Amino acid sequence: MKTRLNHVRANVSDIEKSIKWYEEILNFEVTGSWPPHRPNYVHFASREGATFSLMESREVPSLGRFNFTVDDVDALWDELKDRVEIVEELFNTPYGTRKFTIKDPDGNELGFVSD
């Protein structure tokens, strides 16, 4: 059976704090939230592929790594490297891509890669 991934979620301890970090540091844009009266879940705009979302949860961090494809990983590295916790500095992968990995405030690992 072949599948197509359409949604991933990272758990966070404080949804409002996390929204602010993702918007201010990574320039992500919230496009939806739930439930309406007091949202504890949000998802972000994406160009294609799986939807990335956050949910306030007691199970923090999610203990996964979320990789995002970007147009210019070198420019993003220059913009972020002094503002975030780094897991892996920018490097050339054996697959012909360039990549770096950071942590969000709850320890979720976020990788950024370009061809």
pLDDT, one tens digit per residue, over 44-99 is 999 888 999 999 999 898 998 999 999 999 999 999 999 999 999 999 999 999 99
In a domain, 34, yes or no: yes
CATH number, domain containing residue 43: 3.10.180.10
Cβ burial of 37 (10 Å; 0-12, 13-18, 19+) is exposed
In a domain, 20, yes or no: yes
What is the spatial distance between Cα 76 and Cα 36, in angstroms, rounded to a whole number?
33
The dihedral over CA atoms of 79, 5, 44, 67, expressed in degrees to the nearest 10, equals: -10
